[in-house]
Amino acid sequence: MSNYVYFIRPVGMDGPVKIGFSTDPERRRRELERSSPYKLEVAAKIAGDRLLEIRIHHYLRSSRLRGEWFEATEGLSSMITSVANGLSPFPEIPADMGELIDRVGLEAIQAHFGISRQAVHYWRTKGVPAMHRKTLAMLGAVAGHSMPELVQ
């Protein structure tokens, strides 16, 4: 059974948007709709785990309304569009991010950010969340690999 991070919002409206985790986003939409004054839709979903959900919540923390509900900002709308088109929810990363991760070292990244080996692998393949890029670039500089474009 697959796991998804979903983005649910009222039909025909930009928000508010519920960002949650479920094995069945459509079933979850129906459950939420029972107590909502609006018809709801799954605007987008991406295969992922609770870690991805937490990272998205953290990334969008400034637009949190309450719990898992978020204000419809330009950043959230862009994220929904990216996910709906099969792209990473986070801004794209430089092509040589894998090299930077190799230079800094898996263990150093895990220790500094307090994340699992799987999360580092996810960053390598899907993208480093923008909120961590500057710190990762600084760690890279310490390891002798400068990437100023990473922090722009």
The mean pLDDT value for 76-94 works out to: 77
pLDDT tens-digit readout, 3-27 = 999 999 999 999 999 999 999 999 9
pLDDT tens-digit readout, 48-60 = 888 888 888 888 9
Task: Answer yes or no: is pLDDT of 149 > 60.
Answer: no
In angstroms, the CA 15 to CA 27 distance is 19
In angstroms, the CA 97 to CA 90 distance is 14
In angstroms, the CA 88 to CA 104 distance is 23
* pLDDT number for residue 146: 45
> How confident is the prediction for the chain on average, in pLDDT?
80
Q: Are 151 and 134 in contact (CB under 8 A)?
A: yes
Which tokens in the block code for residue 9? 């919002």
Give the least confident one: 20-24, 28-32, 86-90.
Answer: 86-90
Distance, first Cα to last Cα, the chain: 39
Encode burial over 3-16: b for 16+ CB neighbours within 10 A, e otherwise.
Answer: ebbbbbbbeeeebb
Task: Answer yes or no: is pLDDT of 71 > 90.
Answer: yes
Pairing mode, strands 69-70 and 64-66: antiparallel
Give the least confident one: 45-49, 62-66, 90-94.
Answer: 90-94
Which tokens in the block code for residue 6? 């979903």
